Amino acid sequence: MVKPTALVVDDNKLNRMIHGKLLDVLGIKNRAVENGEEAIEVHLSGEKFDLILMDRDMPVMNGIEATKKLRAMGIKCMIAGISSHSIGPEKEEFMEAGLDDYHEKPLTVAKLLSLVSKIKN
Protein backbone atom coordinates (compact mmCIF):
# COMPACT_ATOMS: atom_id res chain seq x y z
CA MET A 1 0.00 0.00 0.00
CA VAL A 2 1.38 3.41 -0.98
CA LYS A 3 1.83 5.64 2.05
CA PRO A 4 0.30 9.13 1.84
CA THR A 5 2.60 12.13 1.67
CA ALA A 6 2.19 15.53 3.27
CA LEU A 7 3.53 19.06 3.02
CA VAL A 8 3.69 21.25 6.13
CA VAL A 9 3.48 24.96 5.32
CA ASP A 10 4.23 27.06 8.40
CA ASP A 11 6.59 29.94 9.15
CA ASN A 12 6.98 28.80 12.76
CA LYS A 13 9.90 26.41 13.27
CA LEU A 14 8.34 24.88 16.36
CA ASN A 15 5.08 24.09 14.55
CA ARG A 16 6.98 22.60 11.60
CA MET A 17 8.83 20.36 14.04
CA ILE A 18 5.73 19.22 15.92
CA HIS A 19 3.53 18.74 12.85
CA GLY A 20 6.35 16.86 11.13
CA LYS A 21 6.74 14.56 14.11
CA LEU A 22 2.98 13.93 14.26
CA LEU A 23 3.08 12.92 10.59
CA ASP A 24 6.15 10.72 11.20
CA VAL A 25 4.35 8.91 14.00
CA LEU A 26 1.45 8.17 11.65
CA GLY A 27 3.85 6.88 9.02
CA ILE A 28 3.23 9.77 6.63
CA LYS A 29 6.25 10.84 4.61
CA ASN A 30 6.48 14.60 4.86
CA ARG A 31 8.48 17.74 4.25
CA ALA A 32 8.09 21.31 5.39
CA VAL A 33 8.35 24.78 3.89
CA GLU A 34 8.24 28.18 5.56
CA ASN A 35 5.65 30.11 3.59
CA GLY A 36 3.08 29.96 0.81
CA GLU A 37 5.53 30.96 -1.91
CA GLU A 38 7.77 28.00 -1.10
CA ALA A 39 4.72 25.74 -1.18
CA ILE A 40 3.98 26.97 -4.71
CA GLU A 41 7.63 26.46 -5.78
CA VAL A 42 7.66 22.90 -4.44
CA HIS A 43 4.61 22.08 -6.57
CA LEU A 44 6.04 23.84 -9.61
CA SER A 45 9.12 21.62 -9.26
CA GLY A 46 6.85 18.62 -9.79
CA GLU A 47 6.36 17.32 -6.27
CA LYS A 48 2.93 16.10 -5.32
CA PHE A 49 1.33 15.48 -1.95
CA ASP A 50 -1.83 13.86 -0.65
CA LEU A 51 -2.21 16.37 2.16
CA ILE A 52 -1.12 19.96 2.71
CA LEU A 53 -1.21 21.41 6.23
CA MET A 54 -1.45 25.13 5.56
CA ASP A 55 -0.86 27.80 8.18
CA ARG A 56 -2.83 31.00 7.65
CA ASP A 57 -0.55 33.82 8.71
CA MET A 58 2.87 33.68 7.09
CA PRO A 59 5.26 36.27 5.64
CA VAL A 60 6.04 36.49 1.89
CA MET A 61 2.81 34.67 0.94
CA ASN A 62 0.08 33.79 3.44
CA GLY A 63 -2.02 30.64 3.51
CA ILE A 64 -5.06 32.22 1.89
CA GLU A 65 -3.15 33.41 -1.15
CA ALA A 66 -1.16 30.16 -1.38
CA THR A 67 -4.34 28.06 -1.26
CA LYS A 68 -5.96 30.13 -4.01
CA LYS A 69 -2.87 29.80 -6.20
CA LEU A 70 -2.54 26.06 -5.64
CA ARG A 71 -6.18 25.53 -6.61
CA ALA A 72 -5.70 27.76 -9.67
CA MET A 73 -2.71 25.57 -10.60
CA GLY A 74 -5.04 22.55 -10.55
CA ILE A 75 -3.79 21.09 -7.27
CA LYS A 76 -6.69 18.97 -6.05
CA CYS A 77 -5.21 17.26 -3.00
CA MET A 78 -6.59 17.83 0.48
CA ILE A 79 -5.57 21.20 1.87
CA ALA A 80 -6.28 21.65 5.57
CA GLY A 81 -5.96 25.07 7.14
CA ILE A 82 -4.26 25.02 10.54
CA SER A 83 -4.56 28.32 12.36
CA SER A 84 -4.81 30.08 15.71
CA HIS A 85 -8.20 31.54 14.73
CA SER A 86 -11.12 29.31 15.68
CA ILE A 87 -14.17 31.14 14.34
CA GLY A 88 -15.19 34.29 12.54
CA PRO A 89 -14.27 36.05 9.33
CA GLU A 90 -10.65 34.86 9.39
CA LYS A 91 -11.75 31.25 9.21
CA GLU A 92 -14.43 32.00 6.59
CA GLU A 93 -11.95 33.79 4.37
CA PHE A 94 -9.50 30.90 4.63
CA MET A 95 -12.14 28.28 3.84
CA GLU A 96 -13.34 30.25 0.82
CA ALA A 97 -9.79 30.25 -0.56
CA GLY A 98 -10.23 26.55 -1.30
CA LEU A 99 -9.62 24.56 1.87
CA ASP A 100 -11.10 21.09 2.32
CA ASP A 101 -10.91 21.26 6.08
CA TYR A 102 -9.86 23.55 8.90
CA HIS A 103 -8.48 22.94 12.35
CA GLU A 104 -7.58 25.27 15.15
CA LYS A 105 -4.08 24.92 16.59
CA PRO A 106 -2.81 22.87 18.25
CA LEU A 107 -2.80 20.04 15.75
CA THR A 108 -3.35 16.74 17.54
CA VAL A 109 -3.13 13.09 16.56
CA ALA A 110 -6.95 12.92 16.56
CA LYS A 111 -7.29 15.89 14.19
CA LEU A 112 -4.61 14.49 11.91
CA LEU A 113 -6.23 11.05 11.86
CA SER A 114 -9.53 12.63 10.80
CA LEU A 115 -7.72 14.31 7.90
CA VAL A 116 -5.93 11.11 6.91
CA SER A 117 -9.18 9.13 6.97
CA LYS A 118 -10.73 11.69 4.61
CA ILE A 119 -7.80 11.24 2.19
CA LYS A 120 -8.30 7.49 2.19
CA ASN A 121 -12.04 7.93 1.62
Contact residues toward another protein (CB under 8 A) are 11-15, 17-18, 21-22, 24-25, 55, 57, 83-84, 105-109
Output the smallest distance, CB 11 to another protein, in A.
8
Output the smallest distance, CB 37 to another protein, in A.
17
CB 10, CB 16: distance < 8 Å = yes
**Beta pairing partners, 104:** 83
CB 112, CB 26: distance < 8 Å = yes
Cα–Cα distance, 108 to 70 (Å, whole number): 25
> Quick one: 25 or 73, whose CB is closer to another protein?
25
Output the smallest distance, CB 45 to another protein, in A.
28
Q: How many angstroms separate the most distant Cα atoms in the chain?
A: 40
> Quick one: 74 or 88, whose CB is closer to another protein?
88
Residue 16 DSSP label: H
Output the smallest distance, CB 80 to another protein, in A.
15
Torsion sign across C-alpha atoms 89, 90, 91, 94: positive
> Quick one: 65 or 77, whose CB is closer to another protein?
65
> Quick one: 18 or 77, whose CB is closer to another protein?
18
The residue type found at 30 is N
